[in-house]
Structure 1
Amino acid sequence: MAALVPQIADAPLEHLNFGLTLTRVLACSTKRGIRTSPTVAVLGKAFANVEGSVRCLAPELSLIEVFKGEMQSVMMSLAAETVSKEQMARTALELMLGIGSVTDQMSGLMRGRPFTSPAEG
């Protein structure tokens, strides 16, 4: 991976071949005894198909630049969701429930008896 990442990090699609790259990763994994899910191979084929189409339509695209742009909007959406009123209310409720549980555990420890979860009855 240390040799592969620098080669693909900033390369435009016209210089990349995902099928070949994935084959190299899977071959290195197999050589080192790392088992991979068959889903990885299927995913690689899907990427190779998309790559071939995009390469014909816009070979100048840089995968990293496209990814950076998309990730920025995804991260902004996640941040907005995290600070939403609903999420803050959910977090506050979980915190209150957690504090109650911690209080019960501490009381049990102070009395010298082990804590049992509500599920254990």
Structure 2
Amino acid sequence: KQNSPEEEAELNILKDLEKSVGQTSKKVEKVDGKLTGLKNGFLAKNLQAEALSKLDQRVKVAAEQFMKILEQMDAMSFPENFSDCRMKKKGLVKTVQACLAQCDKIETGISDHLAKLQSKNLSE
């Protein structure tokens, strides 16, 4: 079925948000990859703490982006008959929630690794 121009306009807004989610998600993937590298010892121990705090900052910025996107979607309300918009929004909300969960997981990984580094430094 053909959507009304009004629904198409809303769908385009959702598509733009979806693009933002994709871009931010890629940044989170990069951070995750770098964290894995650090855990595998791809950086001298004395440089790891600084690198971890930079990664932590990047994850926090990404999480903030995801929250802003959720807020934008939260502010969008559609008439009953805008079923495509409703479905797209619902799917996007789930995606963003999964991305936020991944951010939390990475932040936990960062603080765990930092704690490990600090306890090793104390024992040396």
Q: Whose relative contact order is higher, 1 or 2, with alpha carbons under 8 Å and at least 6 apart?
A: 2
Q: TM-score, normalised by structure 2?
A: 0.27
More helix by share: 2
Greater gyration radius: 1
Q: TM-score, normalised by structure 1?
A: 0.27
